[in-house]
Chain A
Amino acid sequence: MQRVIEIEEGRSFNFKASAFTPIQYNTLFPDSDFWKDLTSLQEATMGGLESFTTEDYTLLMRISYTMIYQGLAPSPKQTEEQKAFLEEYPSLDYFSDTFEMFSLLGCLDEIMALWGLSSITEVDEKNPESPPPER
């Protein structure tokens, strides 16, 4: 699922959310876990933008960076466009510095909605067993 989102006037990116996004995220940010970060961001979103911290904003920036990177390719194999993206934005800090302060916050709802649409399932779990404890 893809959507073109305008972050700032004249700066639009194609965001892509797929079942590969969690793995792509961990490839781009090896010290992070997508599910943990997404849960933190969702909790922060529920608290409203007033309580949004710079750490929350970093998570939003990382998820956006991943979805934009994915949006450049028809498959997980790195394309020339993705190589050019990494050359243009070699790190998250560099990417972040190219925007006005916190301008991505204006796209928070759209980005979360894109992920929400991508997460819809109509399957009900029938086995009441709880998952194994996390280590």
Chain B
Amino acid sequence: MTVALYALRCKQMGLTFEELDFLNIGMVWGMITESSNDDYKYPKKATKKQFHEFLRG
């Protein structure tokens, strides 16, 4: 990772330099990771029923 690539990823996520100053670097790493997770093909997906069971505890 270089600063140029880091700045590019931040800009691609729509973050301004001002917003970056209010975020921890850990949050931005998390956002970059979640952004790359968006197109992850999950091998198994929960059904609506399972999701509701999960929410009910």
Contact = CB atoms under 8 A, between A and B. Distances in A.
Interface stretch (A13-21, A80-88, A93-101): A13-21
B27 to A, nearest CB: 7
B25 A17 contact: yes
Interface string B1-40: 1110011001000010110111111111110011011011
A19 B39 contact: no
Interface in A34-74: 34-36, 70
Interface in A3-37: 17-23, 25-26, 33-36
Given A25-B3, A35-B3, A123 B34 contact: yes
A91 interface: no
State which size class the interface on A falls in: 20 to 34
| Contact residues of B: prevailing secondary structure | helix
A26 B34 CA distance: 26
A122 B33 CA distance: 10
Given A35-B1, A124-B33, A127-B36, A76 B18 contact: yes
A22 to B, nearest CB: 5
Contacts of A118: 24-26
Interface of B: 1-3, 6-7, 10, 15, 17-18, 20-30, 33-34, 36-37, 39-40
